[in-house]
Structures are given as C-alpha cells and as structure tokens.
Amino acid sequence: MHLYQYLLTEKKLSKKAIHQLIKSNVICINGKIATDDKIEVDGLLHQLSIRGENCGLTQHYYYMLNKPQGLISATQDKSLPTVCDQFSEKIWPIGRLDRNTEGLLLLTDNGQLSFRLPMPQYKVEKTYRVKVNGLLTSKEIEQFACGIEFYSGICCAPAKLEIIYANQNESEAWVTITEGKFHQVKKMFLAVNLYVTYLQRIQYGPLKLDHNLQPGEFRALSIEEVKMLWDCAQLQY
C-alpha cells in the first residue's frame, strides 16, 4: 500500500498530521528520509520508522503458480474452478491466462504492482511456448516483428517469434510480447491463418516458470524475485 494509506488507515493519522510528518523529515524508509507519501511500502522489503521508532508494516503476498488447463484467471466463479481457489490468502492474478492456457501465472495482494505490470507502457515481456496447426516461416517472423494487425483492425506492438521446429502439419515456437490484449497470442496467429493448438506461458518479465512446479503447484516468490518485479513496474524499494 501507499505510505499515505498506511499512515491514514493503520496509524490513524489525519491528512494534516501526515503532511506535517513528511514536511518535518521524520519518516524514514530503509534508513532514508521519505519525502513522498505516495511511495509504495511493503513489510517484506521495507523498514519504516517515525521519529526513530520502528513501525510494523504488513507484508504483501507474492506467488508463482504453474497454472494447469481448466482454471480461469479470476478470484471466484459461480461454476468454474479458479486460480485462487487453493489459496487461503486474499490474492488475485497479475493479468490473466485463458482457461485452456497453461504455465506461469503470478498472484499477489499488492494492488499497485498488479495494476502496473500488465500495462503496455512498462513493456514487461511475456514469453509463450506455442504450437500451431501449420507451417511457420521467416515470413511470420517478419510479420510479428512489424506488429500484427487483427482482422478487427487492432494493431499489436512488435513481437518476437522464434521457430523451434516447423513442418506443413505443425510448428512450435517461442513468442514474446509486451502487451496483454484479450486472446492476443491466439489472435496474432489467426491473423496469419494459423490456429493455436497449445499455449504455455514460460516467462513473465525476468521470472521464468519454475520447472520444479508441477501443473497446479505454486510457491512463494523470493525477496529477490519480488524486487525484480518491482523494478519492472518502476516501483521504489
């Protein structure tokens, strides 16, 4: 949460008192004077003190899930299982994966991080392993690099396509994008007359899918992994 929100809700300080504390240079985060009450704070990464007295900050949750097919990327659903069902914490997915898409999904209760990371202006790369029902060639590599245009007229930012193998009946490739349009990867291939038969996200920003995680398994992110995500979202820690 923002420092201002913490001081307002957790410390029960008034807006005027918060302004005076910031102005008086008596709030320190990790030993440095805080001059902006809009800075994001997290007990996992920060130590907060006011006039030299340490304050307890709530820690956010950060998880990596190897999402299996069949789960929807939502906090709850009336009829379908969701990626959040097995978590006791109140968390939500960062971005989304389609119900029949597998792979790396990040979940957190950090609102600022989950809001920023999927935004295209931060250019956070997401890499997928994809299989399609036909031949991939250098032509498609060039088309992806220039930016695919959907049949609806919507244009995608340039993407990277790396062919693993290719034949007339099936091709496999890596695809790296910096956006998160609805069904984007599938629509990009449809635009070049190919149908996606398998899709797995293997990397989000600097984080790669942990191959020790079986489909449906998850683990908490390390502090270093959390810091890398904060860097991607241009948040200070």
Active site residues: 98
DSSP the chain: -BHHHHHHHTS---HHHHHHHHHTT-EEETTEE---TT-B--TTT--EEETTEEEPPPPPPEEEEEEPTT-BSSS--SSS-BTTTT-SS--EESS---TT-EEEEEEES-HHHHHHTT-GGG---EEEEEEESS---HHHHHHHHH--B-TTS-BPPP-EEEEEEE-SS-EEEEEEES---TTHHHHHHHTTT--EEEEEEEEETTEEP-TTPPTT-EEEPPHHHHHHHHHHTT---
